[in-house]
């Protein structure tokens, strides 16, 4: 493992000089703002717990989500793509970033990758979870608001992973990482393992980290040329004495959760599309 990590650390420097194709460096970004209100809940209390339940929708839990208007995030992404190696560095600032990056300042993702062959890619660093359909940046998240699965699920990974193209549109990924949400200073001596397989718009993955286990399944269907439906099921369980981190710390005393989401999208014209995210979840703060 030490030899492999050393090779990957040198990959960007050692392999980029001999490439035949011109490498590509890009800078992209986005800024978003939103208005939030509740049709059947309190709009005159701060976001948080009211009794045993959260007063806010899942989008609210991710940072400043009191009712009214708010800015959410400013994202800037730097990426380098060569014939064999590359990197991604995504920076974010704002109330939602502050809520997610309790451990790593403004860095959302920062990883290097090496295309070892046409069918194998190795990557190392910090990256977001591949579970579900939702992304941190609003510009990459059509339905914008976050589900319970995203809010309370594992989001930040730090480790090494391999992705394999198996042919016939099958893809396999495996990874060894720090425990969930431990993106720097791993002093426990424990590591998490993860794997996932996909074929086209269908996929399944799992993550096992110390006393926590997560299973995720998803599928997308193009009903018509203008209407699509994506389904996602996420299941989490942990031991009674598990040391929950991140937003899951609010669920200490429970034994896990289930989240079932449906994402519909209707393209009414070339310039306009409608979307609805529906979710059933049994998440509640232990009382």
Domains of the chain: 2-16+24-281 (2.40.160)
Sequence-ordered strand ranges (E) for 57-131 = 68-81, 85-93, 107-115, 120-128
Average pLDDT, integer, range 211-236: 95
Q: Do 173 and 158 form a contact (C-beta atoms < 8 A)?
A: no
Number of Cβ within a 10 Å radius of residue 150 = 28
- Average pLDDT over every residue of 163-176: 95
SS3 content of the chain, % helix, strand, coil (to 5): 15, 50, 35
Q: What are phi and psi of 114, to 5 degrees?
A: -135, 120
28 vs 254 pLDDT, higher one: 28
Overall pTM surpassing 0.85 (yes/no) = no
pLDDT of residue 33: 81
pLDDT digits (tens, 9 = 90+) for 100-135: 766 667 888 999 999 999 999 999 999 888 888 888
Q: How confident is the model at residue 223 (pLDDT cuts 50, 70, 90)?
A: very high
**pLDDT digits over 35-45, tens only?**
877 777 667 76
- pLDDT for the residue numbered 11: 36
Q: What is the pLDDT of residue 97?
A: 78
pLDDT for res 219: 96
- Helices (H), ranges, the chain: 2-15, 58-61, 95-100, 148-152
- φ, ψ of residue 171 to 5 degrees: the values are -135, 140
Burial 205-228 (b: 16+ CB within 10 A, else e): bebebbebbbebbbebeeeeeeeb
Euclidean distance between CA atoms 160 and 2, whole angstroms? 12
Looking at residue 2, what is its pLDDT? Answer: 37
């Amino acid at each position: 493992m030490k030899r492999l990590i050393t090779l990957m650390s040198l990959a960007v420097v050692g392999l980029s000089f001999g490439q035949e194709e011109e490498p590509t460096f890009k800078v992209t970004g986005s800024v978003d703002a939103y208005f939030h209100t509740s049709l059947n809940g309190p709009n005159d209390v701060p976001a948080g717990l009211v009794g045993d339940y959260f007063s806010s929708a899942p989008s609210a839990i991710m940072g400043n989500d009191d009712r009214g208007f708010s800015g959410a995030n400013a994202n800037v992404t730097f990426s380098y793509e060569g014939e064999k190696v590359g990197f991604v560095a995504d920076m974010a600032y704002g109330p939602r970033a502050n809520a997610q990056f309790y451990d790593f300042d403004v860095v959302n993702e920062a990883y290097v990758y090496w295309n070892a062959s046409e069918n194998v890619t190795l990557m190392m660093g910090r990256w977001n979870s591949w579970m579900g359909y939702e992304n941190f940046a609003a510009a990459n998240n059509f339905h914008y608001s976050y589900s319970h699965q995203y809010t309370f699920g594992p989001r930040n990974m730090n480790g090494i992973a391999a992705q394999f193209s198996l042919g016939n549109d099958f893809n396999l990924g495996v990874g060894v990482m720090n425990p969930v949400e431990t993106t720097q200073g791993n002093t426990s001596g424990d590591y998490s393992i993860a794997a996932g397989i996909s074929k086209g718009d269908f996929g399944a993955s799992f993550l096992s980290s110390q006393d926590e286990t997560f299973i995720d399944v998803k599928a997308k269907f193009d009903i018509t040329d203008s209407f699509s439906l994506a389904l996602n099921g996420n299941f989490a369980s942990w031991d009674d004495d598990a040391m929950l981190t991140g937003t899951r710390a609010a669920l200490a005393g429970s034994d896990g959760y289930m989240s079932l989401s449906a994402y519909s999208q209707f393209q009414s014209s070339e310039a306009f599309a409608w979307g609805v995210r529906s979710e059933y979840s049994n998440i509640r703060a232990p009382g």
